[in-house]
Structure 1
Amino acid sequence: MLSEIVIGAALEVHKSLGPGLLESTYEECLDYELRSRGLITERQCFVALDYKNIHIENAFKMNIWVNKELIIELKAVENFLPLHQAQLLTYMRLTQCKVGLLINFNSKLLKDGIRRLSL
């Protein structure tokens, strides 16, 4: 299962680096781990959106999109906020992606900082 591979890669990054770094550092390291596992990733990818009669080319930006099947939204925060989950769910709905992972690398134990969401 794709989410298990991604979680394993995230655990590897967290085990090596620990909490306390910038989100961008974890993103780059996680992207490396995912690619080394043979996955296709897009980092900081902008997504277009059509709203009524207008087209917005760069409507939103996702942290990592894996195999165009799973969206990863990374955080390095003290605690998740309801907004974080809402953000990921909106990205999933607008891209018609059925699975997403919200990962907070600022967790002492990464397993406590992972939320798997599905539509």
Structure 2
Amino acid sequence: MEHEELTHKIIGACMEVHGELGNGFQEVIYQRALAIELASRGLNFSREHEMEIQYKGEAIGTRRVDFFIEESVMLEIKAVINLEDVHLAQAMNYLEAYDLEIGLLINFGSKSLQFKRVHNNKKIKQSGK
């Protein structure tokens, strides 16, 4: 499945959850609802997926991403009033640390669902796209 098609499906699932629940809940509530919605749409995922972070080839720790979908897209969710630069920087750092090409940053905390596609420019250059 192409990244664009997959991210479109994921965003659609997030819109469904936001449409049903609205804003104002804690992040874990949206995680649980989104897990149900992703499964109902036949998407393979792991939740609270632990990934190793390396520095110059050495393992230096782990970090958990909210969702890892179809073994290719990282999804980080927030439940804040507005996404800020620090949230975007976190998502971009995760992509680079996990050596992934694309991820999504979703915010359920605003009145309208906020989402950003996040690209790992280093990975895109390596693959020649």
TM-score, structure 2 length as denominator? 0.83
Q: Tell me, in whole angstroms, the C-alpha distance in 2 between the residues paired with 1:63 and 1:116.
A: 15
What letter is aligned with 2:116? R
Structure 2 spans left out of the alignment, 5+ residues: 121-129
1:28 aligned partner: 32
Structure 1's consecutive aligned runs of 4 or more residues displaced over 4 angstroms after TM superposition are: none
Q: Superposition RMSD on alpha carbons, in Å? A: 1.4
Does structure 1 retain, via aligned residues, the 8 Å contact 2:76–2:106? Answer: yes
Q: Deviation of residue 109 (structure 1)? A: 1.3
Name whichever of 8-17 and 88-97 sits farther off. Answer: 88-97
Structure 1 spans left out of the alignment, 5+ residues: none
Deviation sequence 1:10-60 (CA, Å, 0-9, x none):
01001110000010010111111111111111111111123357534x521
Q: How does 1:1-119 map to 2 (within 5 A)?
A: 1-52=5-56, 54-56=58-60, 58-110=61-113, 113-119=114-120
TM-score, structure 1 length as denominator? 0.90
Name whichever of 95-104 and 2-11 sits farther off. Answer: 95-104
Does structure 1 retain, via aligned residues, the 8 Å contact 2:53–2:98? Answer: no
